[in-house]
Amino acid sequence: MDNHRIHELLARKLAGEATHLEIIEFNELMAKHPDSIYYDEILGQLWMESTSKGNMHEIDIVYHRHQEKYKNEFVHDIIRPLLAFNKKTIRISLISTLLIILIAGLFVSNTKKPSVSDIQIVAGKGMRKKINLPDGTIVWLNSDSRLTYSASINEDKKRVVFLTGEAYFDVAHQQKRPFFVRTNKISIKVLGTKFNVKAYEADQKSEATLINGSIELSLNERPQQKIKLNPSEKFALVQKKHTGKKLKVMSNDITLMIENVNPVQIGNQVYIEETSWKDSKLVFSNETLEEIRPKLERWYNVKIHITSQKTISYRFTGVLKSESIEEALTAMQLIKPFNFKLTDYEVIIY
């Protein structure tokens, strides 16, 4: 019942037809059901694109554009029949159609197979989300990240969440109910603290950065090995797969590192590189373009191809705030010489 009402109010809000009381009701329902939070963001993008040129009849074009952009996250066969659009349909019907498309097709979890009682919150590529969990914990979810937890997290003896991607946690302290963050490589136990976890499936490195409090880490493959972090310390697990020259079998090289968190000064401002993203600032310090590439891809939701080996090794230090991808690359050109070409969803650097 609540989900149906959320969808109805979201459509009215986006069409500009919601009353003040309906906006209040919508905000209360979103707080009660945080798993619906990404509908507002992505539906807003679809709506803006379909109406930006004043043409109310481009939903099919807009859909195919987003199908290409999120091609790994759409269920095409389910969505395609929903694209019929009557030219006489009013604004709110268009939004409702977009909402049906969104709900039908987006986001399937890879971290943990969801049960009927699981809640999933997704920050799509190019997005960041702030979420209030039922136990009072606040989570900032970075681009291309997914958080899954039980609907009964506030009653369970252990508070457990599953993360793919990156998130910053401000955990509500509950002495008798520890909080666990589980990723595909590491698990973290905490009672109440602030820390960042970065665990993208495509990355060789998984990281946990402690801001204050204390956390205990363990490797999923070695659960008996416990590592405690102190404030302003960072843990990194680097896993490299390679094939032996004599024995053609895959093996894993695992490196564990604990480092101090060193603030980065850029201009007259000081940033913490590991957590600046939650304040909508992408910070990189003396990193190669190859190292920065996945960050830019997630930040701007583009695919970047680098064709020059020399360019790959260029190093940059900087901070990006509200710049577009074109503005960011143009500024980087002032530091090192390279050229680039832009298409809708791809960047070629040469």
**CATH dotted code for 264-349:** 3.55.50.30
- Among the ranges given (67-76, 117-126, 133-142, 297-306), the one the predictor scored with the smallest mean pLDDT: 67-76
- Please check the confidence at residue 191 and state whether its pLDDT lies above 70: yes
Of 141, 109, 148, whose CA–CA distance to 126 is shortest? 141
- Please check the confidence at residue 75 and state whether its pLDDT lies above 50: no
Whether CATH 2.60.120.1440 fits 118-260: yes
- Please check the confidence at residue 312 and state whether its pLDDT lies above 70: yes
Mean pLDDT of the chain: 78
Can you give the pLDDT at residue 9? 78
- Please check the confidence at residue 345 and state whether its pLDDT lies above 60: yes
**Which residue would you say has higher pLDDT here, 303 or 56?**
303
Query: Is the model's pTM score more than 0.75?
Result: no
Can you give the pLDDT at residue 244? 46
Mean pLDDT of 77-95: 42
**Per-residue confidence band for 68, with pLDDT thresholds at 50, 70 and 90:** low
- Please check the confidence at residue 298 and state whether its pLDDT lies above 60: yes
Percentage of residues of the chain with pLDDT beyond 70: 69
Can you give the pLDDT at residue 189? 95
Can you give the pLDDT at residue 253? 76
Percentage of residues of the chain with pLDDT beyond 90: 51
- Please check the confidence at residue 50 and state whether its pLDDT lies above 80: no
**Per-residue confidence band for 53, with pLDDT thresholds at 50, 70 and 90:** very low
Mean pLDDT of 337-341: 95
How far is residue 262 from each of residues 273, 276, 318, measured CA to CA in Å? 8, 13, 15
* Contact assessment for residue 328 and residue 296, using Cβ atoms and an 8 Å cutoff: yes
Mean pLDDT of 64-88: 44
Mean pLDDT of 100-128: 63
Q: Where are the domains of the chain?
A: 2-105, 118-260, 264-349
Show Cβ contacts of residue 318 under 8 Å, excluding neighbours closer than 6 positions.
266, 283, 284, 331, 332, 335
- Please check the confidence at residue 106 and state whether its pLDDT lies above 50: no
- Among the ranges given (90-99, 157-166, 172-181, 247-256), the one the predictor scored with the smallest mean pLDDT: 90-99
- Please check the confidence at residue 64 and state whether its pLDDT lies above 50: yes
Can you give the pLDDT at residue 1? 55
CA dist., res. 160 & res. 217, Å (int): 14
**Beta-strand relationship, 159-170 and 233-243:** unpaired
Can you give the pLDDT at residue 88? 37
Can you give the pLDDT at residue 110? 40
Can you give the pLDDT at residue 74? 43
Can you give the pLDDT at residue 239? 80
Q: Which amino acid is at 84?
A: A
- Please check the confidence at residue 83 and state whether its pLDDT lies above 60: no
**Which residue would you say has higher pLDDT here, 75 or 342?**
342
Mean pLDDT of 274-297: 95
Can you give the pLDDT at residue 30? 67
Q: Which amino acid is at 305?
A: H
**Per-residue confidence band for 7, with pLDDT thresholds at 50, 70 and 90:** low
Greatest C-alpha distance within the chain = 71
Of 212, 226, 125, whose CA–CA distance to 169 is shortest? 212
Can you give the pLDDT at residue 243? 46
**Per-residue confidence band for 273, with pLDDT thresholds at 50, 70 and 90:** very high
| Same fold: 118-260 with 264-349 | no
**Per-residue confidence band for 264, with pLDDT thresholds at 50, 70 and 90:** very high
